[in-house]
Structures are given as structure tokens and as C-alpha cells.
Structure 1
Amino acid sequence: STRWETGKSMLVCIDKITCGRMYQRIEPRWKAKIAQLKSSIAQLEVRQVANTDTDEKERATKQVQSLKGRLAWMESTIIEIIISEAQKEIQDFQKWGIDIIPHRVVMKTGFQTADGKRVKVDDAFKDPQHQFRIAIVCAMWLTGFDVECLSTLYIDKPMKAHTLMQAIARANRVYPGKECGVIVDYNGVLTSLRKALAEYALGDEDDGDDGSEIVEPIEDLVRSLVQAIEAAEDHLRQLGFEPSRLLGAKGFARIEALRDAVDALYVSDEGKRRYEIMARQVFARFKALLMERSSYAYAGRHDDIEAIYKKLEEKRDNADVTEVLKELHKIVNEAIRTQQPGEDHAEGLTVDLSQIDFEKLRDEFAKKVRRKHAALQDIRDVVETKLQQMLGRNPLMMDYYRRYLEIVADYNREKDRVTVEQTFAELVKLANSLDAEQRRATEEGLSDDEYVLFQLLFKDSMTKGEREKLKQASRSLLVSLRELLQRMPAWTQNSQTQAEVKVLVLDNLWQSLPRPPFTEQETQQLADRVYDYVWQRSASGISWGAEAGA
């Protein structure tokens, strides 16, 4: 279960003594689970070191990271009793072998923070980041106490009417990332819940409905889950992938099947989007049945759908965008690596991407790459990431972005083999153009930020001397802007500071632009253009620090 990732939990007991007894039962089992996790991690790490298969090693690494995350969560989690104080409670709890004193101290004084301060228990429980994650209660906090990040409510106490309604509402508060609250019923409150819903949700109107179907029967929920799973699987089949290949598959066979599933989904953007919507529907319905044993029969199919979904969600990290062409070479090599040498082996791909022969590269792609749609999507991710980074600093890159959208639109209209191969070549050409564009700043002897200003101010038919003066004007303007904007981080929100920036740009250009070729009217127009760029960049949160163009 991944329930531990979803938020905080509350256990409702029948009385105060039972709260103490439940704490005594939970604590040793919690420690035993921690020991079990440590043992599992140690075993996996041994297998991870011994494994020579790259894919299996990567899979083991992810398992270790997941278990370590769970272990860290369990070791840091605070479980505490929250009950009202009563006379002779120390003696009453001692009769059951329970020391209530340390718990009472926490209830009164709260938890100590890293800086030595104290935080109240109710504030700590409301804070999603605080380690107080499990509260054991019997009456307190059941009404009038909102904890939006509370996701699971365990009920082991008879409740009815408004008390039951309000208690259940604790877990159903809206919170980012929480699709629904989970109620785990140990006491059979369903009948009471139906009565309470009939009374409080339907009011006094007598429409012949006794409220018996307000809570959806488990059988209907299971049926809805199966329908959602079948819809997602049918969608995969329509795209050419048989989902049963993943059932029980392990090792390389599973990795290969996942790659084929992803490749099928990348046939079109619409097919991928539809699958993602269907998969999220499966996740929501499975989560609603997380504590219901009848849903376990469908856990494997759910996990396979989730595995494909996660593969789609993985994003390629391109921190060094100047190496995009090398990354493309890596993508193609990865895409044509296969289990059996000879079928689509990578050794034939010998194209030097620093001097691309696009026709040869397209031919290699057509002959050697087996999962063409997935390889194409990887390249799209690289190009799109690069474009977003460049557009953030340079609005004049919009022509490149329009070209990218045209390539994608053509690809989505036609899915035949020739179109896929042509799209590959077009995207590689575009990536090469982007790389060349980024090199121009260095060729001009300017930083990235200076080059953007240079482009905004540039005028055709300039002499070499005028170009050099324009470069100096760009450098001078950038220095002035940085000095001013560093003192005014929120300048876009104030009309006075906006006017100050506008005046600085205009004054700087009046003094630094060469005349000729620039006229007074052109200077005013260029000042407006530069100001619009500066405002847009600042409003987008892109830094104007000294290293911004480095």
C-alpha cells in the first residue's frame, strides 16, 4: 500500500483507556515494520551491487530509493494520544499498565522545533510538513477541527447523527493532491451513516428515498474499477499493444513490454492524453477500494497501467542545453539498443552529429530504430525543453517555436512510416538550428542577455563600426538595468517603479545608440520594445542577477 504517502491519519477509539491500549499495540508493531524495511533495503542493496544487467540494476535502485523513503517517513513519524484531561487519570491508566504522563506532557506543551521553540499539538497536526502524522483520539478533534491534509480516518467507536457526519467530514476536506478521504470502519457504522445522511443531507423532504443507496455498495465500486481498467486496456489494444504482456512479466521481458507500450501511446498526442485520463480514473477508483480485499484481484492490472503511466511521466533532464545534439545521439543509441544483436543493433549508427548528414541520419533511423514513436517523443522533449529555456530569455525565438508546432501538427495529422521518419529529420534539423542560434552570442562576443538586447535593437544594413557601437550599447544597457532592478525586485507591481525603468531604458538608448543609422523616432520605438521585454521577463520571475547570462 502507498497510503502512507497521502497525508495524515486519525484513529477514533471508544474511550480514553482504549486510546492508550491502542498506542501500546501500535508502537511495537511500528518498530518491527521499521526493522523489516531495513532488512529489505539491505538485501536489495546486495542484489543491486551483484546485478550486472543495467535495466535490472536501475529497477533495484528505484526499489531501494522507494523503501528508503518509506523508512525515513516511518522513523520520523510521531504517533500521539489526544484526549481530554480527567481527575485520577494517572491511576486509571496505571491499572492497565499505561503511563499517561509523557503523553499528557506533550498534549500540554506541544512539540519542540529545531530552533528550540514549541508548537502546539493541534497546530502540528494541521501542518502538512510536521512529523505528527497519526493521532489517536476518542472525542477530541472529531468536531470543529479542520485538518485539510487528513486523508485516512480509522473508526472503532459507535457514532451516529451529526457526530458521525462531522467525524467523517474530517477526512473529506479539500486538499491539493488528495482525491478523496478514506474511512476504515471497524465498528459497522454504515447503517448509522445512511441514517445520518438521510437526515442531514436530504433534509425533511419525503421523496420516498430512505437513503439506503447514498453510500455506493462495494460491489458497484469494484464493478466501476473493472470497467475503468478494461477501458484503459482496450485503448492500449487499439493502439497496437497487448496489455496482457505485462501480467506477471519480470526482468527484461517487462522492461521490453513497457517500452513497447510507451511507443504505442506516442503514436499521437491525443492517444497519449486519452490514456493518461483513463489511467487517472483507474487510480482514483482503486484508491477508493484500497482497504477492500475484493480489489486485490485487480491490483496487478492496476500496477501495470500505473507502470506505463509513470513511464510517460518521466521527463528527460537537459540541464546543459548546449549539448542537445550529443543528447540526440544518445537518444538514438538508446532507442535502437535491443535484446538480440542484429535485429536493430546500434552499431550501424555512425553519424557525426556535429556535421549532420540529415538524409543519412533519417535512413539510419528508418532502418535501425525499432520504437520510432518513443524515440521521436524523446527528441520532442529535448527540443521543447530547449525552446522553453531560450524563449524565457529571448522572445525573438518565437519563430523557432512556431516551426516546432508546425512539425508536431504535421506529425499528428499523418502517422505513416514516411511521416515518422521525416518528422525525426525535421526535429533534428530544428535542434541543430537552435544550437547554432545559441552559439551566435559567443560569436558576437556577447553574453546571452547582452545578445538578446542586441537582437532587439538590431537594424539591417549596419556597418561593422555601427554593429560594434550597438554591442557596446547593449552591454551598457544591461549593466544599468541590473543595477536598477536588483534594488527593485517587485518593480512590475508599482507604477512609479515602472516609470523609473522606462525612463532608464529611454535615457540609456538616447545616449548610446549610434546616429545614424538610428533616428529619434526609432529610438523611442526601440525603448518601448526593450521595456516590454524587460517587464515580461521580470514578471515571469527570470533573474537579472550578474550570472543571468553566464
Structure 2
Amino acid sequence: MQTIARANRVFEGKTNGLIVDYVGVFRNLQKALSIYAKPGSGIEAPVKNKEQLLLDLQEAITQARAHCEANAVKLDKIIQGSTKSFELIALMDDAVDLLVADDDSKKRFLELVGLSWKLYKAVLPDRHAYEYEDICQLLHSLANKIRSLTPSANIDDVMQRIEQVLDVSIDAQGYIISDDKENTVDLSSLDFEKMRRDFEKKHKNIEMQKLKDMVEKVLYEMLEQNKTRTDYVERFEQMIADYNTGSKNVDLIYRDLVDFAEALSEEQKRHVQENLSEEELAVFDILIKPEMELGEKDKQQVKKVARQLLETLKKEKLVLDWRKKQQARADVLYTIEKLLDNELPRSYATEIYRLKCDRVYQHIYDNYYGAGKSLYSLAG
């Protein structure tokens, strides 16, 4: 009984276990344990015949096929098609282009393929599984091609985010933050005119998906650095909603998305134009958006305030674990209030000044962890 339990314990992501019943051992065990069962409990026995897995696999494949048929994808044509690799790739690209026509279709396909692939692997090495090898391998390959359209997450970035959340107060000697710039998309390096021309070619949905996923990745990285960029998020989400509902065709949405990417590219460079660092720009934007319309002189004064405030806080106030200490938090807030009160232009009314103090403090609390660590230092 212990052997059966250990091999078949429940675990996240585990589809099933397998009991090989030699000479009726499991039947005898069931019989022995039946005296402890509560009569008429109505609880379904957890152990099923392996044939049930095959039935589940057949049902999952049927659903995946039906989804493909509904999107005009002929799986059998691909399976029985040309043996030449370039022709096979073309057929698969055609299928992917149809499957990513909208986000709901793409997500549903990936869900169905994930289920069928999990069941297929669970059935192996049963000889009956090989009857479904071609279709399962094809579905899995199509799903992988769809996933490849989305920029991959960088594990170093993920681990850094985990460290931020845990806020571990450890002085790690020799710890080096890896340069993540190779995984950051610089929109200014893109040839937007070429993108517009290339879109007139085949597989428009694939090109749309690539651009959408790239822009989404860049947009949310930019939003993380500067929360005042929510207007860009609203524009992007509206475009994707129009795409998914079909209220605009793919040609119009793609043109809009290229224009949007150009606007994001300009936003990426704005800190240089304003003669500020990215983190100084975030504070500057908090101080002027959305309420203030300033002349050039006052605008330059607010830039000076943003630089001075960050320099003072980082040099004197943002000590190790400052967010955990009430006195340190109060000291940071007092420094913000005092500097803004003394240095902001007189056009800032009392209620706006109060609002800006609160927003700047929240920004500092969210993004600066103390002892030289911040969202901006980790981003490289």
C-alpha cells in the first residue's frame, strides 16, 4: 500500500499515476480496504482503468480538431502534405496565421493543445498512444510556433522581481546584477516604414501578433518605470479590443499599432530630450501631470526639484530597510514635503502640493528599496 501511495501521490501539474497490478494485488488491496469504506457514500473511486485516459485523449484531440476546423485550419492536409521542409513550414505558417486571428482564438487553441499533449504524454508508453502521435506532435509544434511569437521573459529579471518582493535584507558580497539590456526592445532601432511595407505580404495575423506582443512587452516595462504613462496603456488596450472584436480589420489595426509603436519610441527617448534620467523623469512627470500647465521657467524649476529630491533621498534617507522602519519612513516623507514646499513654483496651490507630496512618496516607497537598490538600478 505504501508503494502504491508513494508512486501515485498528488502533485501540482501531475496528470496521473500508474498502478501495474500484478496477479491481482490491487484487487486484493481494494477488497481489504473496503471494510473501512462508508456504505452508500457515493464517492467515486479515484482509480480508473487506463483505457479512460485514451478516451480523454481522444476527446481532447477531437476538441482541438474542431477548433482548428472552425478557423479554417486543415490539420490532415498538413500531416499528409509535402515532405519538403520549406513547404511544410509554409503550411504550418498558414495555419498559425489563421489561429492567431484574435486573442481568444489563440488562447483557446493553446489550452486545448496543452490538455491533449498532457494526456498524450500520460498515456505513453502504451502502444495505443502511437496512433495519435502525428496529430499530437503537429498540434504541439503549432502551439510552439505561436508561443515563439511572444518575447520570452528573462529569468534574471524574474529573480530580481522576486527579490524585490521578498525585500531580503542581506548584504550579498560580490553579487552582480546582470545586464538585461539585450532583452530590452529599443523601439528607435525599428524601421517603421519597412514594417508597413512588409505587412502587405502574407501571414498578416502573424505579423500583427509579433508586433502586438513586442509593443505590449515594451509598454508595460515603460509603465513600470513611470506610472504616469497610463494613457498609453489605455490607447493600446482599446486597439487590441478593436482587433479582438473585429470592429476594425487587421490592416487598419496594424497601421494604428505601428503608429503607436512610433509614439512609444519617442516616449522612450523623452528623458534625453528633457535632459533627465529615466528615474528623474518619473518624478518630474508626477509633479506636472495631469494638473499643471507650466511655463518654460517653472518647468525648468520642477526639473531641478526632481533632480535635487532624488539626490537628497538616495544620499541621506533611503537607508537599508527604510520601508520597514516607521522613523525612516516618516523622515523620507518629511524630506519630500519640505523640499517640495521650499522649491516648487508658487503656481502649485496647497491642495495640489499636498497631492504631489503623497504621490511622490508613494512612488519612492514602491520603487526604492534602500542601500542603493531600486527598480531603476535593477533595470540597469
What are the ranges of 5 or more consecutive residues in structure 1 without an aligned counterpart? Answer: 1-163, 330-350, 354-360
Q: Is the 8 A contact 1:246 1:254 kept in 2?
A: yes
Name the structure 1 match of 2:162.
none
In the TM superposition, residue 487 of structure 1 has moved relative to its aligned partner by 2.4
Higher relative contact order (CA 8 A, sep 6+): 2
Partner residue of 2:145 out of 273, 288, 311: 311
Name the structure 2 match of 1:205.
38
- In the alignment, residue 189 of structure 1 is paired with which amino acid? Y
Name the structure 1 match of 2:54.
222
Name the structure 2 match of 1:389.
221
Name the structure 2 match of 1:507.
338
In the TM superposition, residue 528 of structure 1 has moved relative to its aligned partner by 0.5
- In the alignment, residue 506 of structure 1 is paired with which amino acid? E
Name the structure 2 match of 1:424.
254
Name the structure 1 match of 2:348.
518
Partner residue of 1:476 out of 282, 294, 308: 308
Query: How is 1:1-400 mapped onto 2 (pairs within 5 angstroms)?
Result: 164=1, 166-176=2-12, 178-180=13-15, 182-183=17-18, 185=20, 188-189=21-22, 191-197=24-30, 199-200=32-33, 203-207=36-40, 215-247=47-79, 249=83, 251-314=85-148, 315-316=150-151, 319-323=183-187, 326=190, 351=193, 361=196, 364=197, 368-400=200-232
Deviates more, 1:526-535 or 1:395-404: 526-535
Name the structure 1 match of 2:282.
452
In the TM superposition, residue 486 of structure 1 has moved relative to its aligned partner by 5.2
Counterpart Cα distance in 2 of 1:310 and 1:478: 45
Change (3 A) 1:167 1:547: same
Change (3 A) 1:242 1:546: closer
User: Residue 73 of structure 2: SS of its match in structure 1?
Assistant: coil
Name the structure 2 match of 1:488.
320
Name the structure 2 match of 1:127.
none
> C-alpha offsets along residues 284-335 of structure 1, whole Å, 9 cap, x if unaligned?
2112212212212211211111111112222325734333561x65xxxxxx
Counterpart Cα distance in 1 of 2:23 and 2:253: 57
Computed over aligned residues only, the root mean square deviation of the Cα atoms, in angstroms, reads: 3.0
- In the alignment, residue 63 of structure 2 is paired with which amino acid? A
Name the structure 2 match of 1:30.
none
Counterpart Cα distance in 1 of 2:100 and 2:336: 47
Partner residue of 1:498 out of 329, 340, 345: 329
Higher helix share: 2
- In the alignment, residue 244 of structure 1 is paired with which amino acid? D
User: Residue 321 of structure 1: SS of its match in structure 2?
Assistant: coil
Name the structure 2 match of 1:20.
none
Higher strand share: 1
Counterpart Cα distance in 1 of 2:376 and 2:67: 51
Change (3 A) 1:538 1:544: closer
Counterpart Cα distance in 2 of 1:282 and 1:214: 21
Q: Is the 8 A contact 2:309 2:339 kept in 1?
A: yes
Are 1:527 and 2:369 matched, yes or no? no
In the TM superposition, residue 413 of structure 1 has moved relative to its aligned partner by 1.2
Give the TM-score, by structure 2 length: 0.80
User: Residue 300 of structure 2: SS of its match in structure 1?
Assistant: helix
In the TM superposition, residue 392 of structure 1 has moved relative to its aligned partner by 0.3
Counterpart Cα distance in 2 of 1:181 and 1:190: 22
% same residue: 24
- In the alignment, residue 50 of structure 2 is paired with which amino acid? I
In the TM superposition, residue 201 of structure 1 has moved relative to its aligned partner by 7.3
In the TM superposition, residue 191 of structure 1 has moved relative to its aligned partner by 3.1
- In the alignment, residue 29 of structure 2 is paired with which amino acid? A
In the TM superposition, residue 175 of structure 1 has moved relative to its aligned partner by 4.1
Change (3 A) 1:352 1:189: closer
In the TM superposition, residue 449 of structure 1 has moved relative to its aligned partner by 0.7
Counterpart Cα distance in 2 of 1:384 and 1:190: 58
Question: Is the radius of gyration larger for structure 1 or structure 2?
Answer: 1
Aligned residues: 343
Q: Is the 8 A contact 2:317 2:331 kept in 1?
A: no
> C-alpha offsets along residues 433-487 of structure 1, whole Å, 9 cap, x if unaligned?
1111122211110011101111111264423222222111101111233335752
Q: Is the 8 A contact 1:172 1:180 kept in 2?
A: no
Counterpart Cα distance in 2 of 1:473 and 1:208: 72
Q: Is the 8 A contact 1:486 1:545 kept in 2?
A: no
Name the structure 1 match of 2:155.
none
Counterpart Cα distance in 2 of 1:262 and 1:488: 50
In the TM superposition, residue 181 of structure 1 has moved relative to its aligned partner by 5.0
Q: Is the 8 A contact 1:228 1:278 kept in 2?
A: yes
Counterpart Cα distance in 1 of 2:55 and 2:375: 57
Counterpart Cα distance in 2 of 1:375 and 1:244: 25
Change (3 A) 1:199 1:431: farther
In the TM superposition, residue 217 of structure 1 has moved relative to its aligned partner by 2.4
Give the TM-score, by structure 1 length: 0.57
> C-alpha offsets along residues 91-122 of structure 1, whole Å, 9 cap, x if unaligned?
xxxxxxxxxxxxxxxxxxxxxxxxxxxxxxxx
Are 1:537 and 2:373 matched, yes or no? no
Counterpart Cα distance in 2 of 1:214 and 1:392: 46
In the TM superposition, residue 429 of structure 1 has moved relative to its aligned partner by 1.1
Q: Is the 8 A contact 2:317 2:328 kept in 1?
A: no
User: Residue 316 of structure 1: SS of its match in structure 2?
Assistant: coil
Change (3 A) 1:264 1:195: farther
Partner residue of 1:412 out of 220, 229, 244: 244
Q: Is the 8 A contact 2:8 2:18 kept in 1?
A: no
In the TM superposition, residue 535 of structure 1 has moved relative to its aligned partner by 2.6
In the TM superposition, residue 263 of structure 1 has moved relative to its aligned partner by 1.0
What are the ranges of 5 or more consecutive residues in structure 2 without an aligned counterpart? Answer: 153-181
